[in-house]
Amino acid sequence: MKKNKIAILIFANSAEKEMVSKPLPSPSSLFEALNLQTINIAKKTGLPYFHLSENQQIGVNFGERFTNAIQSVYNKGYDTVITIGNDTPHLTAKHILKTAEKLKHHHVVLGPSTDGGFYLMGLKKDLFNPDVFLKLPWQTTNLNRNISKVLASENTQIHYLEVLTDIDNASDIERVLNSFKSISAAIKSILLQSISISTKIIAYHITAFHNFVLKRQHNKGSPALLHLQ
């Protein structure tokens, strides 16, 4: 029998993999910093944790990999799993510890994200149904609503944490920076750098398009533009 029956599952890819799956205008240091912060958060809770990157994940799609990852933690003898990712800058150890506390009186704890998914899920083993999980609309805006509906139909007690933002695109970066919630100085600096890079890229494309239009307008000899004269 394990002394602590709750474990944290960090379901997060490496910085290299994140650079491919999330083509953000950000340096790889962003994903490295987020991974490091997530692991440090797990350590601060004092709870056992398992980090499964793409090298340890099993399955052909996200739903299969995530479902198998959760099952692997249950297979280690834990009866409750708290899953988190690596793309929520405002996530803290307090969110996880609060989840552990709420799970004493609730069957499920969900941390909704602004994109319609969730950044955290606390789930007891007796409610985990792999077949149902595999059918959920993973990585869509309907995920949180669907999983809440499925769990509610089982007469489960669900506790919701505050809504936080996952970083999936440039708009999410701006949303995080404009939030009044605290964020580490290191990650804030990288995010500001990302916004700067994004602004420069947009400015470059606008200038390039403007120059292209001007060049076309001055190309009086082009038959394709005779109708413009």
Q: To the nearest whole percent, how much of the chain has pLDDT over 70?
A: 81
pLDDT, average across residues 189-199: 71
Q: Which residue has the tokens 């490091």?
A: 36
Label residue 215 by pLDDT band (50, 70, 90): low
Tokens, residue 111: 């941390």
pLDDT at residue 1, rounded to an integer: 40
Question: Which has more pLDDT, 197 or 134?
Answer: 134
Which pLDDT tens digit goes with each residue over 107-154? Answer: 899 999 999 999 999 999 998 999 999 999 998 888 988 988 887 777
pLDDT at residue 174, rounded to an integer: 87
- Which of the listed ranges 21-35, 71-85, 191-205 does the model predict with the highest average pLDDT? 71-85
Between CA 150 and CA 161, with CA 156 as vertex, the angle to 5 degrees is 85
Q: Is the pLDDT of residue 170 over 60?
A: yes
Question: Which has more pLDDT, 215 or 167?
Answer: 167
pLDDT at residue 216, rounded to an integer: 62
- Give how far Cα 82 sits from Cα of 53, 69, 99, 137, Å: 16, 12, 8, 20
pLDDT at residue 6, rounded to an integer: 97
pLDDT, average across residues 193-216: 53
Q: Which residue has the tokens 């709870």?
A: 47
Q: Is the pLDDT of residue 162 over 80?
A: yes
pLDDT at residue 4, rounded to an integer: 61
Label residue 225 by pLDDT band (50, 70, 90): very low
Instruction: Sketch out the chain's domains with CATH numbers.
Output: 6-192 (3.90.550.10)
pLDDT at residue 180, rounded to an integer: 80
Question: Which has more pLDDT, 41 or 1?
Answer: 41
pLDDT at residue 190, rounded to an integer: 86
Give the strands of the sheet with 108-112, arranged side by side.
Answer: 49-52, 6-11, 80-84, 118-124, 108-112, 158-160
Q: Which residue has the tokens 């999936």?
A: 168
- Give how far Cα 227 sits from Cα of 142, 217, 221, 222, Å: 48, 11, 11, 10
pLDDT at residue 3, rounded to an integer: 52
CA dihedral for 223, 224, 227, 228, sign (positive or negative)? negative
CB atoms within 10 A of CB 177: 14
Inter-helix orientation angle 185-217/170-178, to 10°:
130
Q: To the nearest whole percent, how much of the chain has pLDDT over 90?
A: 52
pLDDT at residue 19, rounded to an integer: 77
For the purposes of burial, counting CB atoms within 10 Å of the CB of 131, is it exposed (0-12), middle (13-18) or buried (19 or more)?
Answer: exposed
pLDDT, average across residues 16-31: 76
